[in-house]
Chain A
């Protein structure tokens, strides 16, 4: 399966990108507003200063007199530490102040405050100018008051505000990213929940998913339910097919065997009897093989997605022993079971299958009138179920090979078998996280097969 990136991450990045864009936008707007506000403040102060000076202009003995008011200058120093320049001219003549300050600047219309930005002594100045008519002698003389200030204070104020705005924007951005991540996760929660619900299901659970889901997920849910329904149908069909096949094979075999048995009893010819016995053995072998093939198919199917119910291994052993008791009795074989409670997690059907195959093997290879012993014991976190017979043992060679499919021991001539029994047991135990121990004691006779399974 190839993944094309996470929806959650993509959503988070998208939202964070939008937040980042908004942050930058709001920062630049606040910065420019701050700059404008600072500039307007300076303009207002300059205008107030020029106006106060213009207010003190008076006519004294036919001449324009002026006394600069203290407040006009102290207010300029109150807001920022900027250099101050001023100039007062009456009728084109400099009355006082910095000469050349107003050179090249258009004169302001009377009664109005005009603002200019000028360069003076290598500094950029903001200048407010106001013109007033003062009566000197008999003629009104236009007097222009100009007050100018450098713009460092504005720069400092707007830089400080801009920095604050930048810090706030960054904080806003971080919060937005955090919230975006939460939002992405929250909106994807139903999808995660659905995936979890599907993966939690057992292998045989083919019920439709009945969940409340957001409208965007409804089509997915519907398709999924349709798929489950189809899958369930096909599984039921294949189960039916397997059962049907087993019946179709076993039932005629049973008939053939019964007929052969009858024929054996009524036959008198030794040669004929020998043939019939051979035939019965072959039929038994086929029947067993069919059964084991079904078992093996079941194991292969169920082990893929193992059910992990809590089950007691001793009950499994008791069930299997009870089922095989009649077979054993027919040959006067005694089955002894010593057990204790051994809780394990797993599939009861499979474990029963496995144990049945091993016990069946043990009975099969045991001579008549012997004993098969089942011992269930607990050993550091594991349950150990040992099945020992008094048969011929497993012979020489590596025992591990015996768990391979269709492999049989070297000394089993004359006994029917397909070689699938230990394979099935081994597959089941491995699927349960355990192992199969094989031990052979040829000198005193007997084989021991031990299931070692982790305790629940």
Chain B
């Protein structure tokens, strides 16, 4: 109830200032003992983020956290229009980068940001606090009798060989709606020619298109989907741990794995900058934690391990803006629609 009221409030507030409406997906206020409140705008689901908030408030009980969930595209748009949040967390690295590049982020420097590896920050504006791979989630029941694919080539082969079994049971991001899906798809198209062949094959199987990882994982768990392609590994792992198996399996492609960096920035319109800095420091400290038992968020360190280094996380840099260019986006979406919507 409160979420809806808040959403309405936000919409009213933003429309009052002539800004674009922010479509709030979820919202919760974690009040602190003091008047200090940090307003966080994020793409991360509450389930994933709540443990961190609890840990943060255990250490800083006086700071309240006002947590709003929205899509990365909405977040991007709202910030460009000057929405007043203190800290913005997003899985869409490209959009976050563009915000910083275009001057919508505030510079922040602390001992914790200094400790970040070079690839995990861009100037003192954008900071990565988790590194999360894109994975394939498979329904164990629907794959019975079939070998588990370890490369895209094998996945293509399996889908081709069993069109009946996979008809309408293949899910992936709708890259038109999901910023993260678009990021994964463009980076994959750049790195591997298997992406377009896989898209062609999926296109023939009447694919289900999703906005978000969570729904895809739900559908695999319920057996509606046999394969969910390009799902956030952290969400899948969390779901797997929660539901004790849930009849699904996580497969990491061996030929190529995209590793996304979840990034944070302090927007130019932030009012509680000190509070935002404190939360940011705590987030980055979580990301840099070495002890796996203490993780409440997917760690950052994982991505720097040697075997991942071959591909590395997606690089924070101006190249991210290439696919944000309207001409490039139109061209990419055209090809993608041609491949996936073969009706």
Contacts and interface: CB of A to CB of B under 8 A. Distances in A.
Given A121-B103, A122-B103, A123-B103, A84 B318 contact: yes
Interface in A38-72: 65-70, 72
A66 B315 contact: no
A74 interface: yes
B115 interface: no
B6 interface: no
A36 to B, nearest CB: 24
A307 interface: no
B327 interface: yes
A81 interface: yes
A76 B325 contact: no
Contacts of A76: 317-319
A230 interface: no
Interface in B120-141: 122-123
A73 B319 contact: yes
B318 A77 contact: yes
Interface string B313-336: 001011101100111100100000
Interface in B174-212: 190
A97 interface: yes
Given A81-B122, A121-B102, A95 B327 contact: yes
Nearest to B320: A73
A84 B102 CA distance: 8
Contact of A68 (B101, B123, B327): B327
12 contacts: A66-B327, A69-B322, A70-B322, A72-B322, A73-B321, A73-B322, A74-B318, A74-B319, A76-B319, A78-B317, A97-B325, A152-B123
Nearest to B318: A84
A76 B327 CA distance: 20
A70 B190 contact: yes
Interface in B293-343: 315, 317-319, 321-322, 325-328, 331
Interface in A73-106: 73-74, 76-78, 81, 83-85, 95-97
Interface of A: 65-70, 72-74, 76-78, 81, 83-85, 95-97, 121-123, 152
Which 6 interchain pairs have the tightest Cβ spacing?
A77-B317, A74-B319, A84-B318, A73-B319, A77-B318, A73-B318
A67 B318 contact: no
B99 to A, nearest CB: 11
A84 B98 CA distance: 9
Contact of A84 (B101, B190, B326): B101
Contacts of B102: 83, 121
Contacts of A78: 317
A95 B102 CA distance: 19
Nearest to B126: A81
Contacts of B123: 81, 152
